[in-house]
Amino acid sequence: MFGAAKEIGRSAILVEDKDTKILLDCGLKIRPKKPTEKPEGLDKYAKELQGVVISHAHFDHSGYIPGIVRAGYEGSIHMTQPTRDICEILFRDHLKIEGARFWNEEDMYNSLYQVANHYYEETFQLADGVSATFYDAGHILGSASVLLDWKGQLIFYTGDINTFETPYHDTNKYPTLEDISILISEATNGLRDLPDREVPNQALVRAIYATHKREGVTIIPTFALGRGQEIEAILAQEFINKPFNIYVDGMILKMNNVYRRYFHEYWVSKKILEWCREHRLEVPFDIPNFIPVNRNLADDLDSFRKMIVSEKKLTVVLSTSGMLEGGPIHSYLHYAAENPNNLIAISGYQVEGTVGREILDGSREITLFSWGNKKGIKIRINAEVRQFSFSGHAQRNELIKMIKAINSEKIVFVHGVEESAHHLKEDLANGAEIFIPDIRKPLVFPD
């Protein structure tokens, strides 16, 4: 365990016996206002690995892939095809933001060259006597859980899973085999139960109507990948054929292209495909009221964004970044946050130390990024601020249900804070041995 032990970020789990070493995930930890952290102590194993398997494209699971290649790994990197395409976008973006801190452009190209693509529920070989099968994790496009058949012993790694049906994905799938011996499970939401998925969907839509009634604009800061498309789908289904303008801005547009490429029953739910077929759309974000904000619309995007939020029309803005740390959302806040009629609709979990968290905790004076002014621009928030309880992860009671159904003898909790894992441990009490590993301390299981 080189990361994601009693923490969220830099997932990297080495599974080994005396002849074989396989790495599950290879991520970087992203920290607000600080540089990224890499999995500790992993590099020295790079040349000995027989396989690397990646659950999904989120950077905390994929960001160090070029790093392990730089450290000498020359073998295959197994993932689904959408994961590969999303990784490429994230890698390029990361180089732009952080530069070649742990790896450079050449390492990135080499690692993409080493990718081997697989579909869900098709078994592939990793090493002598070791094979793997991906299961749809329902978390983001292309996300997978991994079943390892390790010389006859079955190990199931959940990656990040969503037990909710979301607009694009059904609930996560897992094998119902009787003899899984080790389950490595995420524990992100071990402390909280979430309301049924319809609750935040409807609450958001209602809040948009209420904001419009008082002549305000709704600004939705959102993550580019997954949550962004989910919210697009919720808005599309509600506002199709209604005179709402929905402006979409930032990195989310690049990710939309990948969603378009894989908008097929193999990767997204039948429900959303059928909805699009009924409305004669290729993808949900093709409804006419969606307006991508890019240079085709205006040369001076900043002024254009100002105009968008000043229009007295039915307006919703969906823009990155989701934790308000930067990106075009800062332009919108600059021009819209002071108006008490407007709504800032926070659509995801806000990490400690981010601007999003600051606002949620009640701060009403924040500093925005500005190209022209190094110190940034201070603004006052008079707009309404609300958080909607979307989550991309398994909620506590559903997670427990899944763990009980898999019924393995040993359970290892990763990708969650320590308390969260302990909480799950108390709730389970099903006789299984439960481990909450520490970083860089191996768990040893005798045969």
Task: Rule CB under 5 A: choose which of 43, 60, 85, 107 binds Zn ion.
Answer: 60
Closer to Zn ion by CB, 43 or 160: give it: 160
The answer to whether 90 and 59 are in contact (CB under 8 A) is yes
Helices and strands (H, E) in the chain, number of each type: 13, 22
Tell me: cis bond preceding 321? Omega within 30 of 0 counts: yes
Task: Rule CB under 5 A: choose which of 10, 58, 118, 212 binds Zn ion.
Answer: 58
H runs (alpha helix) in 249-380: 252-261, 270-278, 301-310, 329-336, 355-360
Judged by CB under 5 A, which stretch of 56-64, 75-83, 251-259, 315-323 contacts Zn ion?
56-64
Q: Across the strands, what pairs with 368? A: 377
The answer to whether 256 and 226 are in contact (CB under 8 A) is no
- As measured in angstroms, the least distance from the Cβ of 61 to Zn ion is 6
Backbone phi and psi for residue 2, each to the nearest 5 degrees, phi listed first: -110, 0
Chain-centre distance for alpha carbon 199: 21
- As measured in angstroms, the least distance from the Cβ of 420 to Zn ion is 13
Judged by CB under 5 A, which stretch of 54-62, 120-128, 129-137, 198-206 contacts Zn ion?
54-62
Look up residue 152 and give its two tokens.
Answer: 């006859």
Look up residue 65 and give its two tokens.
Answer: 């892939």
Closer to Zn ion by CB, 160 or 358: give it: 160
Backbone phi and psi for residue 344, each to the nearest 5 degrees, phi listed first: -105, 110
- As measured in angstroms, the least distance from the Cβ of 357 to Zn ion is 18
H runs (alpha helix) in 74-147: 81-98, 105-113
- As measured in angstroms, the least distance from the Cβ of 139 to Zn ion is 5
The DSSP-derived string for 362-392 is T--EEEE--SS-TT-EEEE--SEEEE----S
Judged by CB under 5 A, which stretch of 50-58, 107-115, 130-138, 144-152 contacts Zn ion?
50-58
- As measured in angstroms, the least distance from the Cβ of 289 to Zn ion is 29
The answer to whether 421 and 6 are in contact (CB under 8 A) is yes
- As measured in angstroms, the least distance from the Cβ of 25 to Zn ion is 9
Q: Using CB under 5 A as the criterion, what x/- string covers residues 128-167 for binding Zn ion?
A: --------------------------------x-------
Judged by CB under 5 A, which stretch of 57-65, 193-201, 262-270, 308-316 contacts Zn ion?
57-65
Judged by CB under 5 A, which stretch of 55-63, 276-284, 288-296, 375-383 contacts Zn ion?
55-63
Closer to Zn ion by CB, 130 or 403: give it: 403
Residues 206-225 binding Zn ion (CB under 5 A) are: none
Closer to Zn ion by CB, 60 or 358: give it: 60
**Of the candidates 347, 338, 282, which has an alpha carbon nearest to the alpha carbon of residue 318?**
347
By CB under 5 A, the count of residues binding Zn ion is 3
The residues of the shown chain that bind Zn ion, judged by CB under 5 A, are 58, 60, 160
